[in-house]
Structure 1
Amino acid sequence: MASTDKFHIPELTKDNYVDWVSKMSSVLKAKELYQLVIGKEPAKIRGDDGKIFEVDQSKRLDLAHATIITRVHFSVSGRVKKNGGANCPKKLWSNILEFGASKKQANKFKAWYRLVHLPLRVNNVQQFISAFWDGIAVLESLDASIDEESLGHIILMKIPNELAHVRNAIIASGTSSSMEVTYETVLEMLDSQISADSAPVQSKP
């Protein structure tokens, strides 16, 4: 089984750049090819006799190129194979990073849109919390600037009227202490309140 199959790497498209680069980087590191691809592996080393000699990297360069290019979708292959990327893995990787940078702003917009429009209902609180954390992870991977307090208040605004007691409890905690209201604290308190509400009430003997 090939390493790319073992790590379940999809083909690179315009929609999966962040996830793809992360997984491909892991594969290259596992194959000890990552430093070679990013150009940080020395082409010359000093031998035991003290003499400097060039290292034959041709086979490893070929392996690196094959590892990467076979997981690139045809819809973007032309863009990442330009200027020598069709043969050189270093240029290929550089082109892929350049391709991703051009998509980063669009991906940030999509990620923000999905996050702030996540629906919060009485019957999907746990799913909302999980999806919100996933959305934060995506934004962080895109180097987005995240206003933690604003997101905390956005979550509070999303809490439905059926859960008004939960919202009020969170607001009370935030106003009666020095606690900073951020998306993290609101999510944690929302989870705690819902868990407490759903806990079975034990009858007295």
Structure 2
Amino acid sequence: MTDNLNTLAASKPTNTNQASSTQTTDIKPDMDKINAMILKTAIEAIPLLTQDNYSMWNSRMMNFFELQKIKDTFIKEDKENLTGDDELQARTILISKLDPSIQSNVINHENNSNVILIWKSIVHHFASTQAANRARVWNHFSSLPFDNSDVASFITKIKSSIEKMHEVGINIDTDVIGYEILKKLPKTTELNGLSTAITHSGLDMTPELVLDHLRVYDNNQKINKSSQSENVPAQVALFTDVSGKCKRGAHNTLAAHPKSKCWMLYPHLRPQREPRTSDNRSEANNRNEANP
């Protein structure tokens, strides 16, 4: 009996280890699949680098490097910590995410086989703190035009330009940037009112304050356009009414009278009718009898 208990006790750890080993074996392929999916998603999320999207491109490339556990290598710009396979993979992805116009500016015969040198060239091209590069970034911000038909795009471009200025070391007080954005707005009644509301709000002038007001302005424009489009069918139906009759609150352009004398638009112009009395009715009957 004792021998049987000892045998059973001895066999328990073995069974536990076997179960644990089986579970680990089952979990590992699942984790590998998940990691592969995450890596694939991260690579697909990296856009082609253009002159206008360096900030977003840089953050997504860094996210990819972090997943590959080589982020510090690119921050320190030290190729010594990269294995041959890591260098090849990173270089392949990096080059594939460059717009042709950018690739011709950052890759040459001296760096085309070294991912760290390519990375340095990209950073120098977009984020160099040299005076020429800073002037380029500032001029780009200064020349951004306001587009009243696409306010959302204007807001996005302004935010991107501000981020670029930060990257190249352009340090300007936030209130100055806010006033620079206001200067871009056309001198219309609505936008003049918006500027006045901002400057008299009692809040500190910042780019975000101006952009918040522009978002509200854009939303109001969309609401107004939506309400106007809903009224168009009724107006079209009125103007295509061949009878020439006007309707309450609207003048038909086919009517025989001018708009300025339209009773439907200006009810007070309608002549007042005399009340019908018994004498009036008798007189009307007599006329009818006299003119059968």
TM-score range, shorter chain: 0.5 to 0.7
Query: Kindly tell me: are residues 169 and 142 of structure 1, through their superposed partners in 2, closer, same or farther at Cα, counting changes over 3 Å?
Result: same
Quote the residue 2:5 is aligned against.
none
Shift of 1:61: 0.9
Higher RCO (CA-CA < 8 Å; seq separation 6+): 1
Provide the secondary structure at the position in 2 that maps to 1:181: coil
Q: 1:37 offset after TM fit, Å?
A: 5.4
Are 2:134 and 2:170, in contact at CA under 8 Å, matched by a contact in 1?
Answer: yes
Do the aligned residues in 1 keep the contact of 2:178 with 2:205 (CA within 8 Å)?
yes
The one-letter amino acid of 2:62's match is S
SS of structure 2 residue aligned to 1:101: helix
- Aligned: 1:122 with 2:148: yes
Q: Which residue of 2 aligns with 1:61?
A: 83
C-alpha change, 1:79 and 1:109, in structure 2 (3 Å) is: farther
Q: Does 1:156 align with 2:182?
A: yes
Q: Describe the shift of the 1:98–1:199 C-alpha distance in structure 2 as closer, same or farther (beyond 3 A).
A: closer
Letter in 1 for 2:84: D
1:171 aligns with 2:196: yes
Q: Shift of the alpha carbon at 1:27?
A: 1.9
Q: Distance in 1 between matches of 2:172 and 2:47?
A: 29
Partner of 1:97: 120
Structure 1 counterpart of 2:179, which letter? Answer: H
Structure 1 residues 63 and 152: CA distance shift in structure 2, 3 A: same
Deviation at 1:18?
5.6
Which residue identity lines up with residue 100 of structure 1 in the other structure? Answer: V
Q: 1:25 to 1:190 in 2, by over 3 A?
A: closer
**TM score, norm. by length of structure 2:** 0.46
User: Which structure 1 segments of 5+ residues have no match?
Assistant: 44-56
Q: State the TM-score, normalized to the length of structure 1.
A: 0.61
Question: Residues 104-123 of structure 1, C-alpha deviation per residue, up to 9 Å, x if partnerless?
Answer: 24443333222221111432
2: distance between equivalents of 1:39 and 1:122?
44
Q: Aligned partner of 1:113: which letter?
A: N
The count of corresponding residues between Structure 1 and Structure 2 is 174
**1:134-157 deviation digits (Å, cap 9, x = unpaired):** 222333333432432122222222
**Post-superposition offset of 1:7:** 4.6
CA contact 1:17–1:100 (8 Å) conserved in 2 = no
Contact 2:53 2:160 in 1 (8 A): no
Measured after TM superposition, the shift of residue 178 of structure 1 is 2.7
Structure with higher helix content: 2
Pairwise CA RMSD of aligned residues? 4.0
Offset of residue 29 of structure 1: 1.2
Distance 1:107 1:165, change over 3 A: same
Deviation string, structure 1 residues 141-190 (Cα, Å, up to 9, x no partner): 3343243212222222222123x333234324423x43112222112112
Task: Please tell me whether residue 189 in structure 1 is matched to residue 220 in structure 2.
Answer: no
Query: Quick one: distance in 2 between partners of 1:116 and 1:19?
Result: 21
Aligned to 1:54: none
Residue 49 of structure 1 aligns with which residue? none
Describe the shift of the 1:150–1:74 C-alpha distance in structure 2 as closer, same or farther (beyond 3 A). closer
